[in-house]
Structure 1
Amino acid sequence: MTKPPREGHLHQLLLYETSQDLRAVVVPMLRRGLAAGEAVVLACGQANTELLARELAVAPSDRPAAGRLTVLNADDGGRPAVAVDLLRRLTRAYSAAEHGRILLVRETDLGAGLGAGPGRYAAAVEFEAAADVALAAEPLTSLCLYHRPNLPASLLTEVEHAHPRLLSATGSDGNPGYRSPATLLRRHATPGLDPLQTTPALYQHPPLTSLSEVSRLRRDLQDLIGTLPVPMATRNDFIAAVGEVTVNGLQHGRLPVRVLIWASADRLLATVTDAGRGFDDPLAGYLAPGEDLSGGAGLWLARLLCDRVEAVRAHESFTIRLATSLPASNGRPALNGVRARTEHARRRAQRARQRAEQLQGELDLLIGDFWRHPPRP
């Protein structure tokens, strides 16, 4: 018997006024999900997690399971790409094991990572826009909670534009104000100079023209940032991101590639510039690459390792700007960076093995052809 096609991501928004409003809309939805055998996952702040768990009166499990409740500590450090990747891995792991859907209730911590204010609000909109594309095929129903009285009208408008469906006491309806993810991400792009760029650069590498020069760049950055009060995991993540973007510029851009570094008491900033036209895809780096690292692996890794990654196109140049806040949070965000670098290294090793097998096959064919048709004396 043929299975029906799997439904993808159902991305919904609830703008609520009071905890009573939240309870009235969300609790019945979660009860229906549990009764239908869905894995219910709460990724909310402490107050709403306790409220919803108390109303459901179900003992949480330690991992997503069919018909069970799980409380998820999804600390993404305020990085949209990390939040998207955490949900992608969670959903795929559960789907592979249980072959079912996850019903996720998620609340963005607007005071984490980049700090409260415009930067954090922009990151929230970036996450919602990127999740709409990156998770489109996943068996996931997500309900995004935003407390209307605590947030500026401008953020609420942008968040509403990012969701295809709106939830209310009367049910789930299509959103006539929905905007495409690419439109929202372009709207939040900041092509102007970062304030740090108006100060002298701390480091400028000689123009790069060869991949063989990247190892020297990495050593220079280790020596430079090693003298600053930067946590080791943050330093390694930042250097890895700069290295990956530099390799991208050398392989896909127009030579030479120039790398500049700035540092302040609270931030690291890098620009990687080549002489080409670059790309015009605001979603680049948000979609996870394939196992063979095809499809923007370097930019994907950079988005996981840095707080901000921005593409700036000029008339005769293309720049990727990377920024990381200091001091970086310890614990889970640092582990996210280590996990991302480990997965990237694993995929590189797998690609190298596949390439070696391909070359060995070509060599075997050449040797066989040589013995079948030896050269005449």
Structure 2
Amino acid sequence: MSTAIDLAGALHEAVLYSAPDELAERLVPRLLPSLDEGAPVVAVLDETTRAEVRRALGDAAERVEFPDPAVVHRVPPFTVASRWARLSRRVRTSTGRATVVGQHVEGLPGCDGNHWARLDLALNVAVVGLPITVLCPYRTDDPELARVEATHPRLVTATGMVSSGTYRPPTDALVEYPPPPPPELGPCTAELTFTADDLGDLRHLVAEVAARGATAPERIADLVLAVNEIGSNSIEHGPGQGRLRLWVTDEAVVAEVADRGRADLPFPGMVAPAAAGIRGRGLWLASELCDVMQVWSDGEGTVVRLRMDHEAS
């Protein structure tokens, strides 16, 4: 089966290059069709490469978004993948495709090797079936090139495009790139141990604590719904109870729901569940509603952390 079919029409390709001007020449022909269709084009590049791509695009560069890589990648890689996949919703024509260029940028704060591996694996899940092309520039002398070939269905080289002979399905490869545990947040602002009878109290507490910050009312409502979904999961699919903890920082409200159940979902909340499915819907909705969602095991059960920034990013 071809790699193009594997992602059901979406494309995720590693673009190998040796110099920024070479990369720019390779990228521009891939960006212009999306620009011609009025579809979104986002290029996350280091400063030198950004300048070369702008030069090669000419006036068309004004229609490309060039966000700061440090800002894009300050959130977990699963969140980055989900945000890029959502760009496909801005496609307005039947033949249009969103295009994202996500360069491997060295030295970004908090981005160890697992960040890039997990981002590439998550993209192979998040973009399936969507009208989107994701191009990931990697240098030809990158020490992680074997990993790049294993996490990208197709490779673009100086001689053309080839299918990766060592590509691995994302669920198979994920075990080699475990996420680092998220940082502890210190003493919480409020907490609640809850059962089914306490969901009303849970919603009230989230709304009350979130209102202490500068969070917009509509974002508070989204956070309340998201936490309610995760709390309901603890009751319906978990042990029947859970613990909610809340923090308010200068930037965001953070809610954490923990229970003693196991959530065996390698890419939680990454894609919408099937209409007939009963698992994963709450996680997907919470991921859609919040700015960041992280799911991990703390050795005793499952923890879901949701972050809602005071203002939309």
Query: Of the candidates 167, 171, 182, which is equivalent to residue 171 of structure 2?
Result: 182
State the alpha-carbon separation in 2 of the partners of residues 306 and 34 from structure 1. Answer: 27
Quick one: structure 1 residues 224 and 40, their matched pair in 2 at CA, closer, same or farther if it must change by over 3 Å? Answer: closer
Percent identity between matched residues is: 26
**Alignment match, 1:91:** 88
In the alignment, what sits opposite 1:232? 215
Greater percentage in helix: 1
**SS in structure 2 of the partner of residue 141 of structure 1:** strand
Question: In 2 relative to 1, CA 238–244 (structure 1 residues): closer, same or farther, beyond 3 Å?
Answer: same
Gaps of 5+ in 1: 62-69, 334-377
Deviations 1:15-42 (A, max 9, x none): 43421221343245556x5899896834
Aligned to 1:222: 207
Match of 1:311 among 287, 291, 296: 296
Between the two proteins, the alignment pairs up a number of residues equal to 300
Look up the match of 1:302. 286
The residue number in structure 1 matching 2:184 is: 196
Corresponding residue for residue 44 of structure 2: 44
| 2:101 matched residue in structure 1 | 106
Q: Within 5 A, what are the aligned runs for 1:153-172?
A: 153=143, 158-172=147-161
Matched letter for residue 228 of structure 2: G
How far, CA to CA, are the matches of 1:73 and 1:87 in structure 2? 13
- Normalization by structure 1: what TM-score? 0.62
Q: Which residue of 1 aligns with 2:135?
A: 143
* RMSD of aligned Cα (Å): 4.4
**CA distance 1:232–1:60, change in 2 (3 Å):** same
- Residues 158 and 213 of structure 1: CA distance in aligned 2, closer, same or farther (over 3 Å): farther
Provide the secondary structure at the position in 2 that maps to 1:127.
helix
- Report how far residue 282 of structure 1 moved: 0.6
| Structure 2 unmatched ranges of 5 or more | none
Residue 53 and residue 42 in structure 1: after superposition, are their counterparts in 2 closer, same or farther (change >3 A)?
farther
Rounded to whole Å, the distance in 2 between the matches of 1:323 and 1:93 is: 25
Structure 2 SS opposite 1:245:
helix
Query: Partners in 2 of 1:162 and 1:42 — Cα distance?
Result: 21
Task: Tell me how far 1:173 sits from its aligned partner.
Answer: 1.7
In structure 2, relative to structure 1, the CA distance for the partners of 1:23 and 1:132 (3 Å cut) is: same
> What is the CA-CA distance between 1:322 and the residue it aligns to?
0.8
Asked if the contact 2:215–2:252 (Cα under 8 Å) also holds between the matched residues in 1, the reply is no
- Deviation, 1:160, is 4.4
CA-to-aligned-CA distance 1:76-117 (integer Å, 9 cap, x gap):
6635455444444443553xx4321526241258699xx622
Distance in 2 separating the partners of 1:241 and 1:111 = 34
How much does 1:12 deviate?
Answer: 0.4
Which stretch of the first structure deviates more once superposed, 251-260 or 216-225? 216-225
TM-score (norm 2): 0.72
Q: Whose Rg is larger?
A: 1
Q: Is the 8 A contact 2:254 2:307 kept in 1?
A: yes
- Give me the whole-angstrom Cα distance separating, in 1, the residues matched to 2:148 and 2:233: 32
Alpha-carbon contact 2:273-2:284 (below 8 Å) kept = yes
Q: Distance in 2 between matches of 1:56 and 1:139?
A: 22
Kept in 2, the 8 Å contact 1:191–1:311? The answer is no
- State the secondary structure of the residue aligned to 1:189: coil
